[in-house]
């Protein structure tokens, strides 16, 4: 696997590959890789003749400086995992390479970035859109791969691609889960043993909420059920649970009249913030 820390040699490598007729798949990550990330690489390898991953903890998408400081960094382990799965190249720049001067650019996605994550993490999606735009411009991939767990992020990147006419195909890859249903996440590394034992309540709550809604239960009743489930679990605190339209993320009061829907949840396990979602319909 080729490893690049600077843009110019990375782009030269990609230019040669494209001139040779290779299609390029991009897997953007912030490192601390797990099986979910590896599934993105494997999906890209199945679709493309060249797969490149990026590892960059983007500071502009963190509205909480402490969260940025505590974000896990495991580069040596990540490199070994990517080599094992057959990733062709890795781009892992530093902040000076990606932001050689303070950025003044801000993105606004209307409704998409004002709800759920956008409500509780102001500025987050503007930072995401900024770094993803940079990566799309640097790599100019044919296809790019993101995990379903960050569905609101995917919806915003989809809008970004449409608005700015990036010439690529986006893919959302299903969430990988632990045996108890907990969505795989780099943040799981920060969970204590006790917190880890209780964090599976997110998936249990989503599953029970889906069953109740499909059976015709009112959304307001289901929201209370989810809040009680999560908040009654030791060390867990619900931040939000929403029933939304999968495309535009508007809140729904009835899943049977909407197609398709998504259930989105965010909660704290101690100081560690976790998110998850589940499709309905």
The CATH number for 82's domain is 3.40.50.620
- As for how many domains the chain has, the answer is 2
pLDDT band of residue 31 (cuts 50, 70, 90) is very high
21 and 91 co-located in one domain: yes
Residue 111 labelled as part of a binding site: no
Beta bridge partners of residue 236, listed in sequence order: 269
190 and 243 co-located in one domain: yes
pTM (2 decimals)? 0.96
70 and 98 co-located in one domain: yes
**Cis omega (within 30 of 0) on the bond before 260?**
yes
CA distance 258 to 117: 22
Residue 29 structure tokens: 């990550």
Domain ends where: 173, 206, 230? 173
pLDDT score, position 215: 92
8 and 125 co-located in one domain: yes
Angle at 153 between CA 18 and CA 160, to 5 degrees: 55
Range(s) of the domain holding residue 231: 186-276
Q: What is the mean pLDDT of residues 159-169?
A: 98
110 and 78 co-located in one domain: yes
- Active-site residue set: 37
Residue 198 labelled as part of a binding site: no
User: How high does pLDDT run on average in the chain?
Assistant: 96
CA distance 147 to 174: 6
Residue 148 labelled as part of a binding site: yes
Angle at 38 between CA 36 and CA 39, to 5 degrees: 65
Domain ends where: 133, 151, 173? 173
pLDDT band of residue 135 (cuts 50, 70, 90) is very high
Is 236's pLDDT higher than 80?
Answer: yes
pLDDT band of residue 40 (cuts 50, 70, 90) is very high
pLDDT score, position 255: 84
pLDDT score, position 258: 58
pLDDT score, position 63: 87
Residue 186 labelled as part of a binding site: yes
pLDDT score, position 256: 75
Is 257's pLDDT higher than 70?
Answer: no
- Residue 181 maps to a domain: no
202 and 247 co-located in one domain: yes
Residue 39 labelled as part of a binding site: no
Helix (H, G, I), strand (E, B) or coil at 59: helix
197 and 165 co-located in one domain: no
pLDDT digits (tens, 9 = 90+) for 74-132: 999 999 999 999 999 999 999 999 999 999 999 999 999 999 999 999 999 999 999 99
pLDDT band of residue 173 (cuts 50, 70, 90) is very high
């Amino acid at each position: 696997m080729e490893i690049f820390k600077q843009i110019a040699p990375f782009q030269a490598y990609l230019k040669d590959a494209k001139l040779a007729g290779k299609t390029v798949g991009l897997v953007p990550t912030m490192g601390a890789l797990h099986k979910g990330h590896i599934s993105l690489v494997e999906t890209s390898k199945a679709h493309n003749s060249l797969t490149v991953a990026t590892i960059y903890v983007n500071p502009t998408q963190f509205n909480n400086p402490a969260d940025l400081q505590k974000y896990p960094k495991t580069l040596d382990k990540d490199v070994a995992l990517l080599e094992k799965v057959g990733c062709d190249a890795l781009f892992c720049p530093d902040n000076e390479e990606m932001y050689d001067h303070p950025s003044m650019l801000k993105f606004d996605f209307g409704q998409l970035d004002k709800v759920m994550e956008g409500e509780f993490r102001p500025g987050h999606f503007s930072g995401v859109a900024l770094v993803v735009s940079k990566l799309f411009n640097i790599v100019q991939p044919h296809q790019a791969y993101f995990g379903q767990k960050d569905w609101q992020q995917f919806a915003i990147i989809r809008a970004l691609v449409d608005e700015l006419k990036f010439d690529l195909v986006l893919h959302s890859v299903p969430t990988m889960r632990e045996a108890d249903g907990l969505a795989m996440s780099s943040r799981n590394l920060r969970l204590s043993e006790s917190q880890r034992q209780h964090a599976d309540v997110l998936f249990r709550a989503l599953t029970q909420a889906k069953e109740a809604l499909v059976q015709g239960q009112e959304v307001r009743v289901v929201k209370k059920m989810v809040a009680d489930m999560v908040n009654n679990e030791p060390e867990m605190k619900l931040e939000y649970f929403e029933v939304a339209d999968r495309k535009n993320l508007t809140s729904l009061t009835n899943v049977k009249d909407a197609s398709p829907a998504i259930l989105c949840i965010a909660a704290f396990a101690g100081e560690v913030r976790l998110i998850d979602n589940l499709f309905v319909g």
